[in-house]
Amino acid sequence: MTDTRGLRDWLVLWRLPGIGPRRFAHALAAFGSPGAFLAASESQRRAAGLPEPICTADREAGAAEAGAEADLRWADAAGHHILTLRDPGYPRQLAELADPPPVLFITGDPAWLTTPQLAVVGARHASAGGLDNAHAFARYLGAAGLTITSGLAVGIDGAAHRGALAGGGGTVAVTATGPDRVYPARHAALAREIAAQGALVTELPTGTGVQREHFPRRNRLISGLALGVLVVEAGVRSGSLGTARHALEQGREVLAIPGSIHNPVARGCHALIREGAKLVESAGDVLEELPPLGDGEAVAAPAEAVPAEAENGFDPAYDRLLEALGHDPVPFDALLQRTALTPDALSSMLLRLELKGLVTAVEGGRYARSGNRARG
C-alpha cells in the first residue's frame, strides 16, 4: 500500500469537486503524482495543458482534506484496505480499463480481486426460477474455481452471492456507496458473510450515500473485474443491460440465460442474445465460453457434472426427473428429495427441459410437466 502521506494525497485529489477517473488520470499524467499536482500552482497546471476544471479543483480543498482523514481512520480498522492505481495489489483487469478508478476501498481480502471472476447480474424483481438459477449457477461455478462478482442488490445479485458462499467459493460485491455504508440495509448480514469469504469493493470514499448516478459507475467495475458477465434475468430497461454493454466495451464475454417469452424480466436476456450474447443453458456453457486463465488452463468444471442430453433423446436421468415431476406442480425442494440430485444439477436439468417445452416454471417456485414425448 502507498505510504500514509502519499496515500493521503491520493485521497484528497480523488475527493476534489469535479475530479473523476479521467480527470484524475490527466492530473497524474501531467505531474507524476497526486502530491506534485496538489503542490503545483494553477498557472503551472495550465502550463502543463490541463483543462480549467482540473486546474482550479482544489480552490476549496478543506472538505477534501477532512474527508481524506476520515478515509484513513476507516482504513485503520481490521479488514479494511485502500489500494491506489499504482499499488502492486491493484487488480490488473481494472487497470486495463479506459477509466480505472484511481482508489479502491476494500472490506475483506483484497487478493480476491485478482482471482478469475465471473459477474452474475440480473433483475431486482426476479422470478423464483431466476433466483434459483442465479444461486445454482453461482454455486456450481464458484466450486469450479471462479470468483462470483455482483452488485449486492436484492434479487439476482443477492442470490448469486449466496450461491457462491453456499458452494464454498469466493465472492466479490461491488457497491455503489462508500465502504462504511451497506445498501440495501437488509443485506447487512450478507455483506458480513462476503467480507469473511471474499471482499466488498467500491471506488467511492467514506460517507458517500446512495445516489442514482453511482450505480452505472458501479456496473462498469462489476464487468471490469470479470472475465465475463452472465445475465440471469433482466427487463428491457434493466441496469444489468448496462453492465453487459460495459462488458462489450471492455472486451469481456457476455452471456445470457433465456427464459419464458411471457416473462417480462427475460426480455432483456433475449435482446442480448439477439445482439450476439452467448445463449447459456448450463454452467458448462459458461465454462466453455470463458478465456483461458493466466497459466493457459481453462477453468475446470467440478467433478460432479450435470447429465448431458443424448444425441437421440435424453439421458435416462432426464427421464427419471420427468417421472419425479408427476402430473401436478412440484416445489424445487420436493424435487431435490425425490431425485437426490444436487441443486446445481437439478436447476440446469430443469432449464434444459423448459427450453425443450417439456417443463414449465409456475408460480411459487414450482415446476410442472408441459408436454409429452413419444416413447418406444
Helix, strand, coil percentages for the chain (3-state, nearest 5) = 45, 15, 40
Report the range of poorest mean pLDDT among 24-28, 180-184, 222-226, 316-320.
316-320
Give the SS3 label for residue 63.
helix
Looking at residue 35, its pLDDT comes to: 96
Average pLDDT over residues 37-46: 96
Report the relative pairing of strands 228-231 and 253-256 from DSSP bridges: parallel
**pLDDT at 295 > cutoff 50:** no
**Cβ atoms of residues 50 and 28 within 8 Å:** no
Q: Which CATH class is domain 316-369?
A: mainly alpha
What percent of the chain clears pLDDT 90, i.e. is strictly above it? Answer: 70
> Of 373, 369, 317, whose CA–CA distance to 348 is shortest?
317
**pLDDT at 304 > cutoff 90:** no
Q: What is the pTM of this model?
A: 0.80
Looking at residue 353, its pLDDT comes to: 82
**Cβ atoms of residues 295 and 265 within 8 Å:** no
Looking at residue 374, its pLDDT comes to: 32
**pLDDT at 303 > cutoff 70:** no
Residue type, 17: P
**Class of residue 364 by CB neighbours under 10 A (exposed 0-12, middle 13-18, buried 19+):** exposed
Looking at residue 292, its pLDDT comes to: 66
**pLDDT at 32 > cutoff 60:** yes
Beta strand extents in 136-257 (DSSP E only): 147-150, 171-174, 198-202, 228-231, 253-256
> Of 17, 3, 19, 23, whose CA–CA distance to 72 is shortest?
3
- Determine the CATH number of domain 4-76: 1.10.150
- Residue found under cell 490527466: 26
Average pLDDT over residues 131-137: 92
**Which tens digit of pLDDT belongs to each residue from 161-201?**
999 999 999 999 999 999 999 999 999 999 999 999 999 99
**Which tens digit of pLDDT belongs to each residue from 321-334?**
888 888 778 888 88
Give the SS3 label for residue 56.
coil
| Contacts with 292 (C-beta within 8 Å, 6 or more apart), sequence order | 298
**Cβ atoms of residues 2 and 103 within 8 Å:** no
> Of 354, 291, 285, whose CA–CA distance to 318 is shortest?
354
Report the range of poorest mean pLDDT among 120-129, 211-220, 286-295.
286-295
Domain regions of the chain by residue span: 4-76, 111-289, 316-369
User: What one-character DSSP code corresponds to residue 358?
Assistant: S
- CATH number assigned to the domain with residue range 111-289, chosen from the 4 options 3.40.50.450, 3.90.1150.10, 3.20.80.10, 1.10.8.350: 3.40.50.450
**pLDDT at 101 > cutoff 80:** yes
CA distance 277 to 254: 5
**pLDDT at 1 > cutoff 80:** no
Report the range of poorest mean pLDDT among 107-116, 188-197, 290-299, 342-351.
290-299
Residue type, 180: D
